[in-house]
Homo-oligomer: A and B are copies of this chain.
Amino acid sequence: MTPKKSWTIGVDVMGASHSPADLLTALSKVPFPSGVNIVILGPPDLLVPPLFSLYPAQDSIFMTDHPVSAIKKKKDSSMLLGLRLLKQKQIDAFVSAGNTGALVLGAKIILSTLPKIHRPALLSLIPTKKKAVAVLDLGANIDCKTHHLIQFALLASAYLQTKGNSHPRIGLLNIGEESMKGTSVLRQAYQKLESIENAPFSFVGNIEGQSVFDGDVDALITDGFTGNVFLKTAEGITSLILDQLHAILPKETIAAYEAQLTELQRYLYCSEYSGALLIGLKGIVIKCHGYSTPEGFVSGVKGAISLVLEQFMDRFQKILESYCFTRFDQV
C-alpha cells in the first residue's frame, strides 16, 4: 500500500457560541501543512476562502437542542453531515464545537464504536506538575457502569501507547486512596483493575483530585459527570487565581512577565486549546468547547491534523485489538 499523500479534515463551524464567520476567519489565518485539505461544514451562504471548500449544511444543531430529537430531526445538520462524511471516509477526521450530547450520540450511531467498546469517551490532556495526564471521560457519559470504566482504561492505555508510553500508569479518580472509597461502581472498578493479570498498563489505584496534579499517573479514569466537574472546576479556579494575581502584582511586573503568564494560562487551559478526542469510535472526532475561543477552535483542528498525520487511527486500533479482551471480560 502506498502511503496516503493527502488528507481531508471536516470542520463543523455551526452550533458553537462563536459564529461560523468568526471561526472561519480564525481558521483562514493559519497555515496548514501541505497535503491537508479543510472542508468546512457550514451554512450554504458562508463565504469560504479559496483554500478551503464548503460542504453546505441546511440545518444546525443548537446547544439547547435535546440530543435524541436533534439526531432524529436534523439529518441535514452540519454535525450529522460531517459524521456521515467521516463514516464514508470522505474525510479523515471531524472537528466540532457543537452540542456535546448530540455529537456523542450521533457519532455512536453513525460511526459506531470499536469492537468490544460500548461507549466513546472524551479524552483530553490536563497539565500537572510533571507530564500532562490523559483524563477520560470528560463528559460523554453521565452514568457509567464498572465495565465502562474498565473500557476507558483500555482506551487510555492504547492511546498512550500510540504516544510511545509502553506501560502507562492508570488511576481512578476517587475521594480517597483506599480501595473501599467512593461509589460501588468505583469500588468494583478498583477490584477489577487490580485483578487483571499481565495488563498492558499498570493500575496505580485511586487518585484524589489534588494528587492528580502531582503528575504521578499517565491516565485518570472517571465517569463523564465527575470528569466534567473536575475539568470545569480546574478552569474556574485557574481563572480566579489569575484574576487575583493581576490584583496583587503591579502592572509593570505583569507586563514584564506577560509572555510567561500568557504561556502559563494557555498551558492551564490546554483542554480548551486542544479540544477533546472522542475516543473509542471508528474514526477521529475532536470536540472543542462550545464556548471555546476561535483560537481554541483552531487548536482543535490542528490536533485533528496531528492525529491524522501520525496515522493515529490505524495504530490505535491495532494496539487495542492486541489486548486480549476476554481477559478483561472475565475479571
A50-76 vs B: 1/0 string, CB under 8 Å?
Answer: 000000000000001010000000000
- Which chain B residues border A230 with CB–CB below 8 Å? 209, 229, 233
- Which positions in A face B, CB cutoff 8 Å? 64, 66, 127-129, 139, 142-143, 173, 175, 178, 180, 182-183, 208-214, 224-226, 228-245, 248-249, 253, 257, 260-261, 264, 267-268
Contact yes or no, A248 B225, CB < 8 A: no
Copies of this chain, tallied across the complex: 2
**CB-based contact B175/A225 at 8 Å:** yes
Contact residue among B139, B236, B238 (Cβ-Cβ distance under 8 Å from A211): B236
A235 touches B210 (CB 8 A): yes
Question: How far apart are the CA atoms of A254 and B68 in the complex, in Å?
Answer: 53
Question: Please, how many angstroms separate the alpha-carbon atoms of A180 and B67 in the complex?
Answer: 11
Q: Give min CB distance, A236 to chain B, whole Å.
A: 4
Cβ B249 vs Cβ A253 within 8 A: yes
Q: How far is the CA of A192 from the CA of B260 in the complex (A)?
A: 47
A198 to chain B, nearest CB (A): 29
- Given known A-B contacts A232-B208, A233-B234, A239 and B213 have beta carbons under 8 A apart: yes
What residues on B are CB-neighbors of A235 within 8 Å? Answer: 209-210
Q: How long is the Cα–Cα vector from A209 to B271 in the complex, in angstroms?
A: 15
Q: From A180, which residue of chain B is reached at the shortest CB distance?
A: B66
> Closest residue of chain B to A224, judged by CB?
B175
Partner of A236, one of B210, B240, B268: B210
Nearest-CB residue, chain B, relative to A173: B229
In the assembled complex, the CB of A229 is this many whole angstroms from the nearest CB of chain B, namely: 5
Q: How far is the CA of A129 from the CA of B233 in the complex (A)?
A: 14
Residues of B contacting A183 in the complex (Cβ-Cβ under 8 angstroms): 142-143, 225
Known interface pairs A209-B229, A249-B257; 4 further A-B residue pairs with C-beta atoms within 8 A, sorted by A's residue number: A142-B175, A142-B183, A143-B183, A237-B237
Of the A-B pairs whose beta carbons lie under 8 Å apart in the complex, a sample of 19, sorted by A's number, is A66-B180, A128-B240, A139-B175, A182-B225, A208-B232, A208-B236, A209-B228, A209-B231, A209-B232, A211-B236, A226-B229, A234-B236, A237-B268, A241-B242, A241-B268, A245-B264, A248-B260, A248-B264, A249-B257
